[in-house]
Chain A
Amino acid sequence: MKTMISITKKPWFLALLVIIFASMSAWNIPIEKRKYGLSQSGLATDYTGLLPGKIEQVIPSENIEQLQKIIKDSNKHGKHISIAGLQHSQGGHTYYKNGTVLDMKNMNKILEINEQEKTVRVEAGASWGDIQESINPYGLALKVTQSQSIFTVGGSLSVNAHGRDIRNGSMAGTVKEMTLITPAGEVKKLKRGDQLMQEVLGGYGLFGVIADVTLELTDNDVYSMHTKELQTKEYEEYFHKAVENEKVGFHYARVSVAPGSFLNEMYAIDYNVTGEKDNSTPLKGESAVRLSKFALDLGRSGGRLEDFFWESQKQFSRSFNGDTVTRNNAMRSESDFMEFTVPGRVEVLQEFFVPVDSFEEYINELKNTLPSNDKHEDFKVHNITVRFTERDSFTHLRYAKKDMLGLVVLIQHGVNDKQMQHAENMIQKWTEATLKFGGTYYLPYYPYQTKDQFRRAYPEWEAFKEQKKRVDPNEVFVNLFYNHYLKD
């Protein structure tokens, strides 16, 4: 005991203690450092923080009666409301100048799980992660979600999101019933096929508040993963085979944006059904975040390091060839490693959709639109993932008029006026190339596109606007997205 006490008094021991503890603290400094989102008093932003706006107030949601009262009151007094889920949309979809923001996060209860019918009824502020936690023990899984589970049900349905599942159609198509609070403050129970429901899905929070939803579920299948490296020109054929092969449940691919193999190389990942179901594998959490972030940061440096990053991505994809994964876990990829906080710069997402059979020509067109080595450019493309989105016959602002391949693009650029202008020019050029092939672009992201490009990509915009006028004549529900694209 005495020796113990005398050791603790030794300067070398104390120095060691400091070193150990400091290293441990440094390792645990959170990756997520960005401050964004809602604040009672000041500016509201969303995921990018690119469109800060002064709002009047944030009201945390409690229950349907409270929401009804707020909406009726706003309707009567000509006030504006925006609806916020987890605010991962990036184009000011969740707030409006001097308006009220309904923060839906508190309404996140799982109301009912029906094992026989394979459905779940949830409040709209619940995240996909919340639902997965409650259904995983029953061996059930969601039919369509994004690849990550960090979004709310209400937010995702309002943008009609999509993911890696190639068998279950659009997210909107998985909704059986919903409770909506209309702009007049009425509570309506809607069923699949009701026109109003069709407007709300993919309605960007402009047709009322989704309070709760009944979603169709499926079994928590076990998949085996298969990876394949290929040239971009071979992809169309490979993809058709994947779709025809009924065993393939999930599919996505990555296209190289590294200078040495720019838009030439790809790798594809198929998730094949094994026939097994699972109700015991726990849900996975975020893992190896630091390592993945380090790798992505290498890619962000551009040039040779980006080549190295691409090689390591391929290597990584080879490493899990043959592994198995449950459906629930396949639908909850890591997201923390994407964290990017360099002052004066921003990393944004864009997504372009092209008809499946135009993929090869489209990629060739992009080779002429984008610089292959962006190391010294302000506008940098870090990642392109390819997804399948089946033809959507549900929503009005539909991005998948046919079966489409979506290119999800991670882009970084500076935020001073000149850099913003340059980014806008580049993305408008990219959008133009996409429109040329009968494609569209995704609307939950920052609106670099012109109003004219929006109208050409979404010819149903007029019908959407008409319906908005009919359902919400006093414009109770608005947001910056509405202001940018749809307001006269």
Chain B
Amino acid sequence: MEKNSQRLIPLIVTVGQVVIFPYYIIWLKEVSMSFTLFAWLFAVFSFSAAWGFRTYSVKKPDSSAYISAIYSGMGLVYIAAGWMVFPVEMLPYAALLMQIGLGFLQGYFRAWHIQKPSYRVHAVHHYLLVGIIMIGLSFVKIFSPSIFLILFGVLLFISGWW
């Protein structure tokens, strides 16, 4: 498990997140209603990412990284976004919580990832894969971003336990 979570899954996470981002943004845009709120949701994501990054960085080198939990956590956020059954009233508040969760997990994961020897190889593969997948996806007609959010969420969640 340790091996996979260090070698392959980080690539799935980074590529997957960029690929899924357009869908996540469409979802977020629908939820946020005004550009101000949309921008603030991203601001809170960034602050949270900084917090996640520092939380990992100040860890002692030999302590556990909980990286599997981080993958599953990210997965759960995407599943929740895709599956959201809250009333319209509650959606912006739920999105705010998700942005905090996702930001923190993202920052934490990034801090962990850059310390791994595979990071540089991943960076190159990441760009190539994202490009190819995006071209592929542009041919797929979808009616709702939620299907993709759920699928990616499930993939990440399983990755945590792989």
- Do the two chains bind? yes
B124 contacts A by Cβ under 8 Å: no
Chain B residues near A11: list those with CB within 8 A.
Answer: 51, 54-55, 58
Do residues A342 and B89 form an inter-chain contact, with CB atoms below 8 A?
Answer: yes
Do residues A22 and B51 form an inter-chain contact, with CB atoms below 8 A?
Answer: no
B92 contacts A by Cβ under 8 Å: yes
Residue from the set B51, B87, B92, B96 with the largest chain A CB neighbour count within 10 Å = B51
A116 contacts B by Cβ under 8 Å: no
A463 contacts B by Cβ under 8 Å: no
How many residue pairs link A and B with beta carbons under 8 A? The number is: 59
B148 contacts A by Cβ under 8 Å: no
Binary flags per residue of A19-35, CB closer than 8 Å to B gives 1, else 0: 00110011011100101
A10 contacts B by Cβ under 8 Å: yes
A341 to B86, CA, bound (A): 12
Q: Kindly provide the distance from the CB of A437 to the nearest chain B CB, expressed in whole angstroms.
A: 39
- Once A33-B89, A343-B87 are accepted as A-B contacts, the answer to whether A25 and B50 lie under 8 Å apart by CB is no
A418 contacts B by Cβ under 8 Å: no
A21 to B89, CA, bound (A): 20
Q: Kindly provide the distance from the CB of A9 to the nearest chain B CB, expressed in whole angstroms.
A: 6
Q: Kindly provide the distance from the CB of A422 to the nearest chain B CB, expressed in whole angstroms.
A: 22
Chain B residues near A35: list those with CB within 8 A.
Answer: 33
Do residues A14 and B50 form an inter-chain contact, with CB atoms below 8 A?
Answer: yes
Do residues B37 and A30 form an inter-chain contact, with CB atoms below 8 A?
Answer: yes
Do residues A29 and B93 form an inter-chain contact, with CB atoms below 8 A?
Answer: yes
Partner of A33, one of B51, B58, B88, B96: B88
B161 contacts A by Cβ under 8 Å: no
Chain A residues near B50: list those with CB within 8 A.
Answer: 14, 17
Chain B residues near A25: list those with CB within 8 A.
Answer: 37, 40-41, 43-44, 96
Chain B residues near A10: list those with CB within 8 A.
Answer: 54
B23 contacts A by Cβ under 8 Å: no
Q: Which of B31-82 contact A (CB under 8 A)?
A: 33-34, 36-37, 40-41, 43-44, 47-48, 50-51, 54-55, 58
A21 to B40, CA, bound (A): 8
A5 contacts B by Cβ under 8 Å: no
- Once A10-B54, A14-B47, A18-B47 are accepted as A-B contacts, the answer to whether A28 and B87 lie under 8 Å apart by CB is no
A30 to B32, CA, bound (A): 9
Q: Can you name the residue of chain B whose Cβ is closest to the Cβ of A340?
A: B89
Chain A count of residues within 8 A CB distance of the other chain: 19
Chain B residues near A30: list those with CB within 8 A.
Answer: 33-34, 37
B100 contacts A by Cβ under 8 Å: yes
Chain A residues near B55: list those with CB within 8 A.
Answer: 11
Partner of A343, one of B43, B88, B92, B93: B88
Do residues A28 and B58 form an inter-chain contact, with CB atoms below 8 A?
Answer: no
Q: Kindly provide the distance from the CB of A317 to the nearest chain B CB, expressed in whole angstroms.
A: 28
Do residues A342 and B87 form an inter-chain contact, with CB atoms below 8 A?
Answer: yes
Majority DSSP secondary structure for residues of B touching A? helix
Chain B residues near A343: list those with CB within 8 A.
Answer: 87-88
A15 contacts B by Cβ under 8 Å: yes
A396 to B42, CA, bound (A): 55
A415 to B34, CA, bound (A): 27
A14 to B34, CA, bound (A): 26
Binary flags per residue of B92-136, CB closer than 8 Å to A gives 1, else 0: 110010001001100000000000000000000000000000000
A28 to B36, CA, bound (A): 10
Partner of B100, one of A18, A28, A29, A33: A18
Do residues A14 and B89 form an inter-chain contact, with CB atoms below 8 A?
Answer: no
Chain B residues near A9: list those with CB within 8 A.
Answer: 54
Q: Kindly provide the distance from the CB of B38 to the nearest chain A CB, expressed in whole angstroms.
A: 11
Chain A residues near B58: list those with CB within 8 A.
Answer: 11
Chain B residues near A15: list those with CB within 8 A.
Answer: 51
Chain A residues near B88: list those with CB within 8 A.
Answer: 33, 341-343
- Once A11-B54, A21-B43 are accepted as A-B contacts, the answer to whether A341 and B37 lie under 8 Å apart by CB is no
Q: Can you name the residue of chain A whose Cβ is closest to the Cβ of B107?
A: A14
A26 to B40, CA, bound (A): 10
Do residues A26 and B93 form an inter-chain contact, with CB atoms below 8 A?
Answer: yes
Q: Kindly provide the distance from the CB of B89 to the nearest chain A CB, expressed in whole angstroms.
A: 5
Do residues B96 and A22 form an inter-chain contact, with CB atoms below 8 A?
Answer: yes
Do residues A18 and B34 form an inter-chain contact, with CB atoms below 8 A?
Answer: no
A18-B100, A28-B37, A342-B89 known; 17 new pairs, CB 8 Å cut-off, are A9-B54, A10-B54, A11-B51, A11-B55, A14-B51, A17-B47, A17-B50, A18-B104, A25-B43, A26-B93, A28-B36, A29-B37, A29-B92, A30-B33, A33-B33, A341-B88, A343-B87
- What are the 3 tightest A-B residue pairs by CB atom distance, in nearest-first order? A14-B51, A29-B92, A25-B40
* 22 A–B contacts from the bound complex (CB under 8 Å): A11-B54, A11-B55, A14-B50, A14-B54, A15-B51, A17-B51, A18-B44, A18-B48, A18-B104, A21-B40, A25-B41, A25-B44, A26-B96, A28-B40, A29-B96, A30-B37, A33-B88, A33-B89, A35-B33, A341-B87, A341-B88, A341-B89
